[in-house]
Amino acid sequence: MNLIRRVGSLPIRAIGVQKNYHSAPLKKFLCSSTPSFYLKNFSSSSSATLTKKPTISDHTLIKVIQSEIKCFKESQESELVDKPPPAFPFEIEDNPGQRTLILRREYNGETIKVEVHMPSLVTGEDDDDDDDEDEQASHSSIPLVVTVSKKCQPSLEFGVTAFADEVSIDCMSVKESIVSEDELPYEGPDFTSLDENLQKAFLKYLELRGIKPSTTNFLHEYMINKDSREFLNWLKNLKNFIEK
């Protein structure tokens, strides 16, 4: 089974911070666009030469987007810091516009690759109790796909869920370097059905290769910051498109 597909897309909401990506000005503008509005513009465009100049409605949308950008920047309490902690074992490959982050390192002749997905965050919007917030934070998680490769050999692939101060292996499989599309390889039993000592041994195996709470807790915050950057860039791209 393709582990990358299993982790899928996850909702993004920062703990204790309500990031309103759909604020009132933008909703008001979108909801006010009635069918007659579009019919009017369709009629005028069919009888006039197309122009590159933004229309009145475009100017209105641009102002709303500018307002969204300003409000979002002001909502950031401080500058986002993505500097890894000392002795962070991986090189970070962060491509703007992508939902995932790639980590790489070499370890005793092995190549370790980690695909980091956006975190699944549990928030306490409806409950201000401190104890509940602590419990919710502990249940927030970040999904990883860890691949351990050796030269000219199959690779090990792990589906991992990292909670606060805890790393859990969801599944594990041996991947051949070349697999025919007609083949359906056996990917092993459910990881939780393995002997408990074997499960612990594989957790230690990953820990030695850098998959441990000190690493994953940093990645959790990094991906929250990445989500903020991607949203801001998305707004700027929208604005640039409407302006052209």
Q: Please state the domain extents for the chain.
A: 24-75, 85-227
- Give the DSSP letter of residue 113: E
pLDDT of residue 159: 95
As a whole-number percent, the residues of the chain with pLDDT over 90 amount to: 37
Q: Tell the CATH superfamily of the 85-227 domain.
A: Mitochondrial glycoprotein (3.10.280.10)
pLDDT digits 0-9 by tens, 207-237: 999 999 999 999 998 998 898 889 988 999 9
Asked whether residue 83 carries a pLDDT value surpassing 90, the answer given is no
- SS3 of 227, please? helix
User: How far is it, in rounded angstroms, from Cα 137 to Cα 122?
Assistant: 6
Read off the amino acid at residue 220. Answer: H
**60-74, 81-95, 118-132, 221-235: the lowest-pLDDT one:** 118-132
User: How far is it, in rounded angstroms, from Cα 139 to Cα 204?
Assistant: 22
Higher confidence at residue 139 or residue 2? 139
As a whole-number percent, the residues of the chain with pLDDT over 70 amount to: 68
Average pLDDT value over all residues in the chain: 77
User: How far is it, in rounded angstroms, from Cα 13 to Cα 221?
Assistant: 12
Cβ-proximal residues to 162 (8 Å cutoff; 6+ apart), any chain: 141, 142, 143, 144, 168, 211, 213, 216, 217, 219, 220
**44-48, 200-204, 232-236: the lowest-pLDDT one:** 44-48
Residue where the block lists tokens 């820990």: 207
Q: How confident is the model at residue 175 (pLDDT cuts 50, 70, 90)?
A: confident
Helices (H), 118-212: 130-139, 196-208
Q: How far is CA 159 from CA 91, 94, 136, 146, 172, in A?
A: 20, 20, 22, 7, 6
Q: pTM score > 0.85 for this model?
A: no
Asked whether residue 6 carries a pLDDT value surpassing 70, the answer given is no
Task: Report yes or no: 20 and 68 within 8 Å, Cβ to Cβ.
Answer: no
Rounded to an integer, the average pLDDT of 189-204 is 94
Helices (H), 111-151: 130-139
pLDDT of residue 156: 95
pLDDT of residue 124: 52
pLDDT of residue 38: 42
Residue where the block lists tokens 């949203």: 231
pLDDT digits 0-9 by tens, 13-32: 433 444 455 555 555 544 55
pLDDT digits 0-9 by tens, 116-170: 999 887 655 555 555 555 555 557 899 999 999 998 888 999 999 999 889 999 9
Closest by CA to 209, choosing from 150, 154, 151, is 150
User: How far is it, in rounded angstroms, from Cα 84 to Cα 90?
Assistant: 9
Q: How confident is the model at residue 70 (pLDDT cuts 50, 70, 90)?
A: confident
